[in-house]
Amino acid sequence: MNAVSPVSVTFADVQAAAGRIKGLAVETPLVESPALNERLGGRVLLKLETQQRVGAFKFRGAYNRLVQLDADQRKAGVVAFSSGNHAQGVALAAKLLGMPAIIVMPADAPALKVANTKGYGAEVRLYDRLTESREAIAAEIAATRGAVVVPAYDDPHIVAGQGTAGLEMLAQAKAVGAEFDAIVSPVGGGGLLSGISLVTKELSPKTELWGAEPSVYNDLAQSLASGERVTVKPTVRTLCDALESPSTGDITFPILKRNLAGAVGLTDPEVAEAMRYAFLTLKLVMEPGGSVGLAALLTGKVDARGKTVGVVVSGANVDPELFARILKGEV
Amino acid sequence: MNAVSPVSVTFADVQAAAGRIKGLAVETPLVESPALNERLGGRVLLKLETQQRVGAFKFRGAYNRLVQLDADQRKAGVVAFSSGNHAQGVALAAKLLGMPAIIVMPADAPALKVANTKGYGAEVRLYDRLTESREAIAAEIAATRGAVVVPAYDDPHIVAGQGTAGLEMLAQAKAVGAEFDAIVSPVGGGGLLSGISLVTKELSPKTELWGAEPSVYNDLAQSLASGERVTVKPTVRTLCDALESPSTGDITFPILKRNLAGAVGLTDPEVAEAMRYAFLTLKLVMEPGGSVGLAALLTGKVDARGKTVGVVVSGANVDPELFARILKGEV
Furthest CA-CA distance within chain A: 62
Contact B180, B170 (CB under 8 A): yes
Q: CA of A53: how far to CAs of A58, A62, A116, A315, B166, in Å?
A: 9, 11, 11, 10, 27
Q: Using an 8 Å Cβ cutoff, are B106 and B234 in contact? A: no
Assigned CATH topology for domain A59-149: Rossmann fold (3.40.50)
Of A53, A283, A324, the CB nearest to B285: A283
* A26, A285, A325 member nearest B279 (Cβ): A285
pLDDT digits (tens, 9 = 90+) for A82-136: 888 999 999 999 999 999 999 999 999 999 999 999 999 999 999 998 899 998 9
Q: Is B171 on the interface with A (CB under 8 A)?
A: no
Average pLDDT over residues A58-80: 97
Q: CB–CB of A310/A49 below 8 Å?
A: no
DSSP letters for A128-153? -TTT--HHHHHHHHHHHH-PEE--SS
- Residues, chain B: 331
What is the rounded CA–CA span in Å between residue B124 and residue B107? Answer: 10
Least confident range of A14-18, A202-206, A310-314, B244-248: B244-248
Q: Do B55 and A323 touch (CB under 8 A)?
A: no
The string of pLDDT tens digits covering residues A15-30 is 999 999 999 999 999 9
Q: What is the pTM of this model?
A: 0.96
Give the model's pLDDT for residue A5: 52
Distance of CA A219 to the CA centre of its chain: 16
Looking at beta carbons, which residues of chain B come within 8 Å of A316?
A: 283
- pLDDT value for A77: 96
Considering just the CA atoms, what is the radius of gyration of chain A in Å? 19
| Cα-Cα-Cα-Cα dihedral sign, residues B23, B25, B26, B32 | negative
At residue B7, the pLDDT reads 74
Q: What is the pLDDT of residue B228?
A: 97
- Residue range B84-101: mean pLDDT, rounded: 96
**Res. A312 pLDDT band, cuts 50 70 90:** very high
Q: Which residue of B has its CA nearest to A317?
A: B280
pLDDT digits (tens, 9 = 90+) for B13-71: 999 999 999 999 999 999 999 999 999 999 999 999 999 999 999 999 999 999 999 99
User: What is the pLDDT, as a whole number, of residue A310?
Assistant: 98
> What is the residue extent of each domain of chain B?
11-57+155-327, 59-149
**CATH number assigned to the domain with residue range B11-57+155-327, chosen from the 4 options 3.30.565.10, 2.60.40.10, 2.60.40.740, 3.40.50.1100:** 3.40.50.1100
Q: Give the three-state DSSP class for B182.
A: strand
For residue B5, is pLDDT > 60? Answer: no
Same fold, B11-57+155-327 and B59-149: yes
Q: Using the beta-carbon criterion (under 8 Å), do B51 and A35 form an inter-chain contact?
A: no
Quick check: A180 and A204 in contact, CB under 8 A?
A: yes
Asked whether the predicted pLDDT for residue A3 surpasses 50, the reply is no
Q: How far is CA B37 from CA A57, B31, B178, B310, in A?
A: 19, 11, 13, 12
CA dist A291 and A270 (Å) reads 10
Confidence of residue B2 (pLDDT cuts 50, 70, 90): very low
Fill in the DSSP letter of residue A309.
E
Q: Which of A44, A46, A280 to mutate to test the interface with B (most CBs of B within 10 A)?
A: A280
Instruction: For residue A64, give the nearest of A156, A138, A200, A154 by alpha carbon.
Output: A156
DSSP codes, B51-66: GSGGGBTHHHHHHHHH
Q: Place B6 in a pLDDT band, splitting at 50, 70 and 90.
A: low
Which pLDDT does position A83 carry in this prediction?
81
Q: Is the ipTM of this complex over 0.85?
A: yes
Q: Chain B neighbours among A 198-227 (CB < 8 Å)?
A: none
Task: Decide if B327 and A328 are in contact by the 8 Å CB cutoff.
Answer: no
Residue type, A156: P
Give the pLDDT of residue B83. Answer: 81
Neighbours of A96 (CB within 10 A): 17
Rounded to the nearest angstrom, the gap between the alpha carbon of residue A119 and the centroid of all alpha carbons in its chain is: 21
Mean pLDDT of chain B: 95
What residues have CB less than 8 Å from A171, skipping those under 6 apart? Answer: none
Angle between helices B252-259 and B219-226 (to 10 degrees): 70
Strands in B43-48's sheet, in edge-to-edge order, are B30-32, B43-48, B308-313, B182-186, B208-214, B262-266
Q: Which residues of A153-191 are buried (b: 16+ CB within 10 A; e: fewer)?
A: bbbbbbbbbbbbbbbbbbebbeeeebebbbbbbbbbbbb
Q: How far apart (Å, rounded) are the C-alpha atoms in residues A98 and B219? A: 49
